[in-house]
């Protein structure tokens, strides 16, 4: 019976400690992101989960945007031709022969190991990859600028704005990686301004301010984008937790709707549903089915003498005795109403059902619950009716219940504390 109870009604899922800890982290992170300023970090476990779940999507985006950005990077050869024509061939070599193969190797490596993230490769590796590619692109521009003597080369620094926008806006580096990346590219710009001897002094401040403004504005956008992404992730987790809670409550309510509150056995409604399913399977295979119906002898007198709390305890112990003695897979015990209990035994003939009923009756008698007002014995006893049949089309499950009820009535008429069997 115990195995069948687990099959029909799964026990309520308890929230594991790890789940409680995760929900606490989500709550803490939500409070943090509701503040005016956030440090863009979740608690450690949640942070790892956030990065791991977002890794596949970021890898796909990196591959696509990386290819497009590489086309744009090489498309600026036209700008090299117009602004630094004296080193145009060097620019071609740097862009097409040095940086492009290196970038393609990065993209190919990322594509090859995409399934290893985050199992073996941490998601942070992708951020470092983007940072490296962006810094190398900036270094290429700085190198071209350092060897050019063209009059317009001092305006070449504007190209670093594109590099910063690539890392912070196109590739959408995580905020703190974007800060580090922007500072490195900005350092390349400062070094270039200070080391070019013929740089127009009047352009130094505007160029430094222009690139600085680009850094600030793109970092503000990076911060806002990541903040929104993290908020959406927290909202999705909260919705997931809420749906899980609702599912657990629904499962619990469904379980309670099938259980008897006092004894913990199945109730009459679930018994009838289960019997109907059992009967249909038995009729299909021509199998035997048995029903045991039990009634506690003189229970009203017991309640009148000892009180209803004692009566409830008596029913609990009787229910436990039933469960202990009817343990075959498929056996199901239910409280049928008041002091009446019922059980269905699939694949049980008259002899098997009789022996099971006798075990139950004897177990109840052996409980030794005092019952001084009983005309049958000085302790609590039970009368048991058993009905068995081979399921066939001309019978219904209601006929088997009626037969068990008749057998129970006969047991009472014959003096109670006994088992009567009726086969149909």
Please identify every residue annotated as catalytic: 339
Tell how far CA 277 is from the center of its chain: 32
Specify which residues 345 forms β-bridges with: 290
- Taking alpha carbons only, the member of 227, 179, 234, 224 closest to residue 50 is 234
Q: Other C-beta atoms within 10 Å of 168: how many?
A: 28
Residue 248, CB-side half-sphere exposure with 13 Å CA sphere = 11
Phi first, then psi: what are they for 242, rounded to 5°?
-65, -45
3-state helix, strand, coil in the chain (%, to 5): 70, 10, 20
End-to-end CA distance of the chain: 24
With contact defined as beta carbons under 8 Å apart, do 345 and 328 qualify? yes
Of all helices (H) and strands (E), which one includes residue 355?
helix 350-366
Q: Residues 226, 174: contact at Cβ < 8 Å? A: yes
């Amino acid at each position: 019976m115990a195995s069948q109870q687990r099959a029909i009604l799964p026990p309520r899922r308890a929230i594991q400690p790890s789940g409680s800890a995760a929900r606490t982290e989500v709550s803490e992170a939500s409070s943090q992101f509701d503040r005016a300023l956030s440090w863009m970090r979740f608690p450690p476990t949640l942070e790892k989960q956030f990065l791991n779940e977002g890794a596949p999507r970021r890898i796909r985006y990196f591959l696509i945007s990386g290819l497009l950005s590489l086309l744009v990077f090489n498309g600026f050869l036209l700008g090299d031709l117009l602004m630094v024509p004296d080193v145009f061939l060097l620019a071609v070599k740097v862009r097409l022969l040095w940086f492009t193969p290196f970038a393609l190797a990065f993209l190919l490596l990322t594509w090859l190991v995409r399934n290893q993230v985050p199992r073996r490769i941490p998601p942070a590796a992708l951020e470092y990859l983007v940072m490296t590619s962006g810094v190398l692109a900036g270094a290429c521009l700085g190198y071209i600028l350092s060897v050019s003597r063209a009059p317009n080369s001092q305006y070449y620094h504007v190209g670093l704005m594109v590099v910063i926008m690539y890392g912070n806006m196109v590739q959408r580096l995580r905020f703190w990686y974007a800060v580090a990346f922007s500072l490195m590219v900005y350092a390349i710009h400062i070094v270039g301004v200070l080391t070019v001897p013929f740089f127009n002094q009047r352009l130094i401040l505007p160029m430094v301010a222009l690139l600085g403004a680009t850094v600030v504005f793109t970092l503000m956008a990076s911060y806002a984008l990541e903040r929104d992404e993290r908020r959406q992730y927290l909202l999705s987790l909260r919705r997931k937790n809420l749906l899980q809670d609702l599912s657990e409550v629904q499962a619990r309510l469904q379980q309670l709707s099938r259980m008897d509150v006092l004894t913990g056995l199945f109730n009459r409604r679930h018994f009838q549903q289960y019997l109907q399913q059992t009967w249909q399977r038995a009729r299909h295979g021509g199998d035997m089915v048995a029903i045991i119906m039990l009634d506690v002898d003189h229970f009203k007198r017991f309640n009148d003498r000892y009180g209803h709390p004692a009566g409830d305890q008596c029913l609990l112990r009787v229910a436990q005795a039933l469960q202990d003695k009817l343990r075959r897979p498929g056996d199901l015990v239910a409280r049928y109403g008041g002091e009446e209990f019922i059980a269905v035994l699939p694949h049980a003939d008259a002899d098997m059902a009789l022996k099971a009923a006798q075990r139950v009756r004897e177990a109840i008698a052996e409980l030794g619950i005092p019952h001084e007002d009983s005309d049958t014995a000085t302790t609590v006893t039970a009368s048991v009716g058993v009905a068995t049949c081979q399921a066939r089309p001309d019978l219904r499950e209601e006929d088997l219940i009626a037969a068990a009820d008749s057998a129970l009535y006969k047991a009472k008429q014959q003096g109670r504390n006994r088992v009567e069997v009726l086969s149909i």
